[in-house]
Amino acid sequence: MKLISRFLVVAALAVCAFGIQAKSISILIVDGQNNHNWKAMTPFMKNQLEKTGMYTVAVSTSPQRVNPPRNLTKEQRAQAQKAADELNAKAWAAWNPNFAKYDVVISNYNGQEWPKPVKDAFEKYMREGGRFICVHAANNSFPNWLEYNKMIGLGGWGGRTEKHGPYVYYDESNKLIRNTNPGRGGSHGPQHEFTIKIRNSDHPITAGMPTQWKHAKDELYDSLRGPGTKMEILATAWSEKSKRHEPMMMVLGYNKGKIFHTPMGHENGQSLQCVGFITTLDRACEWLATDKVTTKIPTNFPTANKVSVVPKN
């Protein structure tokens, strides 16, 4: 009898351990090039997510851009460029993240085009039910990769214009607008604290959040444009610059795939440290991976007129 009960205890512990392990959501953060300090951003997000005990986070860092040295003669320059191109091609050929291994992929990447095999693998992952989060300048990436733009819905810079899709926003009277006027996509004013207005409190990501909360100092991206199909705007922020309520949280569908997109998260202020940003990222990961959210709104969540930040790692 004693032996049997001991066996049962061991078995139960094993099931528990297995259960906990099986529940862990696997996340891949892709970085390596960005006009923002990705070397600080990625570890911060990774740490915040892993602290919850719900996620295991891996990182895949793309090759850096190899540039030829400056101050060369014309002849030397051609040769150096050729050598740099060869180095670039070699490095990129060796980089091929296994997206399919992960429940959720987060992009903290804004840089050179990915090689075709990487793009193809990512499209396949998403078509077949992949989960993706686009953070801040990741929406500057790949202006002419149509499938990527369908995934993120809206993007900025990189020559984006009306050809890439409409501006999508709420106007002054809170009407959802798809504006096809010609013009550049992507802009922002000086960093400042701004109010996030929740547009749908029934979504698992936003449920229980104050309907308005103050986001820590960040760039308020405005005038993003793109296909914006299969997209729901969960939250906006009023831009004094564009005089529009600009999308700040979006959920999208792409074939069997699902996406969460936040233009928040410029790195050199306190935007990433904002409890609102962290909670949103955490909940988005859980929702994408499991279709529901159990993560509670923390007691130190920002309020309508008070920001709330955690220290850097």
The site for Zn ion (CB under 5 A) is made up of 219, 266
**Closer of 244 and 266 to Zn ion (Cβ):** 266
Q: How far is the CB of 160 from Zn ion (least distance, A)?
A: 16
DSSP-derived secondary structure letter, 201:
T
Instruction: Count each helix (H run) and each strand (E run) in the chain, helices first.
Output: 6, 11
**Closer of 46 and 266 to Zn ion (Cβ):** 266
Q: How far is the CB of 224 from Zn ion (least distance, A)?
A: 13
**Closer of 88 and 191 to Zn ion (Cβ):** 191
**Closer of 97 and 186 to Zn ion (Cβ):** 186
**Closer of 99 and 194 to Zn ion (Cβ):** 194
Q: How far is the CB of 110 from Zn ion (least distance, A)?
A: 9
CA angle 62, 68, 70 (to 5 degrees): 135
- Hunting for tokens 């013009």 — which residue is that? 183
3-state SS class at 168: strand
By beta-carbon distance, which residue lies closest to Zn ion?
266
**Closer of 97 and 156 to Zn ion (Cβ):** 156
Q: What backbone torsions phi and psi does residue 112 show, to the nearest 5 degrees?
A: -55, 155
Sort strands 131-135 and 104-107 into parallel, antiparallel or unpaired: parallel
Contact 235, 206 (CB under 8 A): yes
Stated length of the chain: 313
Q: How far is the CB of 43 from Zn ion (least distance, A)?
A: 18
- How far apart CA 236 and CA 195 sit, in angstroms, is 8
CA angle 111, 115, 118 (to 5 degrees): 100
Look at residues 36, 287, 61, 252 and name the one whose alpha carbon lies nearest to residue 149: 252
**Closer of 140 and 308 to Zn ion (Cβ):** 140
Q: How far is the CB of 266 from Zn ion (least distance, A)?
A: 3
**Closer of 193 and 219 to Zn ion (Cβ):** 219
Q: How far is the CB of 222 from Zn ion (least distance, A)?
A: 12
DSSP conformation letters of 209-276: S-SEEEEEEE---B--BS---SEEEEEEEEETTTTEEEEEEEEEEETTEEEEEE----TTSSTTTBHH
Residue 305: what residue type? N
Q: How far is the CB of 36 from Zn ion (least distance, A)?
A: 5
Contact 215, 307 (CB under 8 A): yes
Q: How far is the CB of 243 from Zn ion (least distance, A)?
A: 21
